[in-house]
Every structure is written in structure tokens, then in C-alpha cells.
Chain A
């Protein structure tokens, strides 16, 4: 029995596509990206599109989502120039630096808005690879392991572009940087996006990522982001996922943190057909702190899977994760969270919680918290709950004249509140609150300032 034949049919399609596109992929691409393609491709061939037999994809079946004949974009396409002008998806009073990407490609006509301090780079990854390969050489494909996840392997094999964010030593950027990922095409499309973030020593930045779809084509978006947070640096990474239900989004984020650094990730999943968020954080220096928050809202046949791993590699560090799901209709959710405290990572504080609210009998949630502790002087805890609406509390609200729908809204908002209140950017927090309220009311949670009114 060979590994390949088992998953043959579907994976073969992607394998043969790679072989056909090979020339295009290699020819036009800098060495710093090309040097990883071959090995990554082999890793993909070995693993194939994951089935549920893959332990890490036990609760998420990607196979049917990979069936359509997708268009792949291996070269930058000219995008309608007027898009940027009419796209005003800015959170009010946020005064963000706004950057667009289309189908994984950095929009070449992005204009630098606001005052960006000297040395800060927010650029197309491909451009940086061509013009400044030394910096990529140091970081690119260093923490996104291709052997452990076929989607990361496929991404690395096909990666051409994405964004590159570089914050130099001791540079502190108060205003958040906002990146909008837009899926827009004339047919069903497979997009590959590869991002790299480097926050140097003592630097501080906040990045907000908004994922949108602008038409009703089917999409698979396979994105990989590597983030390096150096000593004494601070990085807040917010992701707002708001794509239509024919979109499959596989979003793998790898973080390496050094001494005294502080990282906060926030993943708010409002809409999307299938969302798989992989988040792996390696805490690689003492006295570092990682906070991970997630909030997911699902209805209809949506599926959302957050798969997190925190590796405590050094002593005296803290990690804290809270993920919450609200599941309606026949939606399905999954959460797997692994905390690994390696030997000698003493005085680790690691905390993890996953709370889920099922609104119907037909929604299902799978949750799998895991603790692996190889040190003996640590404080670790994990917990998961799956429950229904608190009927006693509902009745209490109703008995004060608040009707059932409104009471339910209040209860769901209360459930989400714990996670939402952790968003440090006030304007974003208010916007998220507003989007969540719309989402819970069953209205399409589109950002109303956005001229596109993204179909969700």
C-alpha cells in the first residue's frame, strides 16, 4: 500500500498542475522563493490533500472543497485600478495604513498612506525577494514547516507573492496597519498567499487583516504567514474573516517569539464556508507572553476549525488562549489546542479555554484540548465547555420585559464579550461589536462603509 495511491485522484490533480506550472513558477521567481519549492512539493506529494485520516485534519474534511477545477494565478494580473479608489473599508477614526491584496497578490498601486517611519517596509513579498533577497533569506520558510502540514507544503511549492512587513529596531507604530485580502476573479479560483512579518528588537506594531470576497465564485485560499517577534518587541495581530460561504480558507500562521516579547493574536471569524486556522507559536525566549483569542460565528453549513499549538521552549513565559464559538443551524465547529511545555521550560504559565454555545440540536462542535508537559514546575490549565443558551438567564431577562429575540441577542453578545473586550484598538473593537451584532441578528455582517458591500 502506498501513501500516494490512497489519496491519489484528488492529490494527483494538484500534483500534475504543479508539474505543468513548474516552469512558470520557477522562471519568473527569485531564488529565495524557488529554493524551497522542490522540497515543499515533495512534502506535498508525500502527504496529499489531507483526508480525515490525517490526525490533524480529523475534524475538517478539505477534500470536497478541492474538487472544482480552479484557476491558479501564477503571475501577477493587472487589477482594475479604480478598485483601490472606491474601496474604503477603513474602520472610522482608525487612521490606518491601508493596503490591498488581490487573490494573494500585493496590489501594485497601493499608495503609502499616512506617515510611515523610516525603515518600515510594507511591500510585495515578490518585490522584496527580487530587490532585497538577503532579508528574506534570513526568515523565509524558516518556521513554516512543510513536512508537518500538506497545505503549508503546497503553499511553499506555489508561493509567489503576499505581503512583507518589516518594523525596524525600536520603531513604535501607534496606528494599526490594515491589510485587506480580497478574492475577486472571473471564475472559481485557487489563491496562494505567502506573507512574512518581522518585528525587530524593541519595535511595536499592530496589524489588522480583513479577508473579503467580492463576487460569488468559489475560492480556495491557501495562505501561510510567518511572523518573527524579536526581543522586547510587541505585536498585535488581528484577523477578521468575512468571506462568502463558497470560500474555503486555510490560513496557517507561524510565530516565533524571542525574549521579553509580547504577542496578541485575535481571530474573528464572521463568515466563510470552511475556515481552517492553523496557529503555531514557538516561545523561544524567556519572559515572553503570548495571548491568543478567537471568536467564531457559524450558521447554515459553515465549518470553522481553529488548530493551535503553543510550544513553550524557554522558562518564565506565559501563554493564554480563549476561543469561543457560537454555532447555529447545521454548522460544525472544531477546536484543537495543544500546549507543549518542553523540558526545562520551568515556571511556565499556560492557560487555554474553549467555550462553545450551540443554538440548535443540529449544530455540532468537536473540541480537543491537549497538554504535553515535560517540565515539572509549571502552571498549566485547559478546559472546554459545550452548552446551550442559559434558559434561566433568558427567563430573567424576559421577565423584565425584554422580548425573546432581544434577550437571545443580549446573551450571545455577553458570550462574545469576553473575547471582544480584549481587542485593544478601540475603533476596531467597536466595529467588531457592531459586526457581531449584525451577524447575530442574521443580517449580513458587511462593513457598511465598504463600497463593495462584499457578498457574504
Chain B
């Protein structure tokens, strides 16, 4: 599904990713862990086409096509979804309008009929239950006045509506209390099928108690320095990132 080969990425002329290789197949959950500043968020952002991230070498293939040539909106419509670390507040844009537009853009892309307002509201209510999203929040502007936890729930709520093939969760656990963490993880697990894949970017192991990864990769100084099964997360939790730093 996703194949990253020898990827180099710079931001403002500074090299952040220095030769990443990663293969993700349908049905898999990959966790990307690593100390602060190792390039985890850069990897997440480059997948969705954020402009300030400049790819200087390497390639990314998604569903057999060159991903780097595609616009952010096309990537989204073809099934890539980023749960943002810091979701943006957009005053004046009502949640419902935003979500309906996004869903219908996806449907148009897939050759499906656009949903009417009534159909959309029905779908929205269904998905809202899944992530325990307070109905009042959908009456507001996008993320406006949402608490940290509500913003993260809103990301997973959008994920539920858009049903991506490849979901990238960028530090979705940060700023969540344990109940919210469970709800969010429950949402992600409920959306899991054998056909979609998830990349969980996280600093801490605790989210991985609820979203069980098939693979854990450790990113350090722009490179994946260790890859193993879920047991690697526990080892990291126990030994800390210094263990990795010393080895490199």
C-alpha cells in the first residue's frame, strides 16, 4: 500500500529525514516512536503533502502511484488521512458544512452520489456515537473553543466519516486524559479493517496499550534505527530513549 524508499526531507534548508525506508501493507498497524526532534512529525506531514516539507531525495509510492506528485486534497481523496497533532481552529467555518463538503468531495472522487443534508446528518450522528463526540460540538465552528481532548476526538470523528485507507495518527495521545485516550483508541480500533492500514506516531508507549501495533519502528536523527514487533515498545518504555541514543 505504502512504500517509502530512501526518503530525505528538509525544512527551511535543514535536513530532518535522512533516508527513511518503510513498507506498510493493508491491515497492518505500524507505530513510529522516537525521542523529540527525531523527525516523527515530519514523516507524518510529508505523507499528506505539507508544502514546507521539501523532499530532496527518495520516493514514496502509494497504491502503486507516485505520492509526491499529488496535491494534499488528492492524497486525501485517495484515502490518506492525517490526525493532526495540533488541529487548527477555523472561526466562521461551521463544522457541519466543513464535514459535509469533505465527505462529498470524497464521494465525488469515488464516483458516488453526493449526500443530501438529511443523509449527511444521519451519517454524522452514527459516527459521532463511535467516538463519543458531543453533538453540541458540531454546531460550532471547526475546532473553535474545543478543549485539547475534544480536538483529538474531532480528528478521529473526521477519520470515521472519511474512512481512509491509510490513517496517520500524529501524537494523537498527547494532551489526552486516560478516558479520552481510551475513547480515541476505541474509535481507531473500531475503524480497523483488513483493508486499511494505520501509522501511529507517538512519543509514549501508553497509546500502544490500546492500539496494538504489528510493527514498532524507532526513529532517531532522521533514520529508522530499529524495527521489531510490539515488544519493542515495552522495551523502550523500560529503558528510555537514551538506550537508542547510546547505540547510535
B71 at the interface (CB under 8 A from A): yes
Is B92 touching A399 in the complex (CB atoms < 8 A)? no
CA separation between A397 and B106, bound complex, in Å? Answer: 13
Chain A-chain B contacts (Cβ-Cβ < 8 Å), number: 75
Report, as a range, how many residues of chain B touch the other chain: 20 to 34
Kindly list 14 other residue pairs between chains A and B, CB separation below 8 angstroms, not including A397-B90, A406-B101: A396-B90, A396-B142, A399-B72, A400-B76, A401-B102, A401-B105, A401-B106, A402-B98, A403-B105, A413-B92, A414-B90, A414-B91, A414-B93, A414-B141
Is B101 touching A399 in the complex (CB atoms < 8 A)? no
Q: CB-defined interface of B51-92 with A at 8 Å, one 1/0 digit per residue?
A: 100000000000000000001110111000110100110111
Is B88 touching A396 in the complex (CB atoms < 8 A)? yes
B158 at the interface (CB under 8 A from A): yes
**Considering the complex, which residues of chain A in the window 301-357 have a beta carbon less than 8 Å from any beta carbon of chain B?**
none
**Considering the complex, which residues of chain B in the window 91-111 have a beta carbon less than 8 Å from any beta carbon of chain A?**
91-93, 97-98, 101-102, 105-106, 109
Looking at chain A's contact residues, the main secondary structure is helix
Is B73 touching A403 in the complex (CB atoms < 8 A)? yes
Is A398 touching B93 in the complex (CB atoms < 8 A)? no
Where the two chains meet, the residues of A that have a C-beta atom closer than 8 Å to any C-beta of B are 390, 392-393, 395-404, 406-407, 410-411, 413-415, 417-418
Among A397, A415, A418: residue with most chain B CB under 10 A: A397
Is A397 touching B71 in the complex (CB atoms < 8 A)? no
CB-CB under 8 A for A401 and B109, given A395-B72, A396-B84: yes
Query: Can you list 23 pairs linking A and B with CB atoms under 8 Å apart?
Result: A395-B50, A395-B72, A396-B90, A396-B142, A399-B48, A399-B81, A399-B82, A400-B76, A400-B158, A401-B73, A401-B76, A401-B77, A401-B102, A402-B73, A402-B102, A403-B71, A403-B105, A404-B71, A410-B93, A410-B101, A414-B90, A414-B141, A418-B92
B162 at the interface (CB under 8 A from A): yes
Chain A proximity of B157: nearest CB distance (Å): 12
Is B98 touching A397 in the complex (CB atoms < 8 A)? yes
Among A402, A403, A406, A417: residue with most chain B CB under 10 A: A402
Choose from B49, B92, B142 the contact partner of A417 (Cβ within 8 Å).
B92
Chain A proximity of B154: nearest CB distance (Å): 11
Residue numbers in B under 8 Å from A411 (CB-CB) = 90, 93
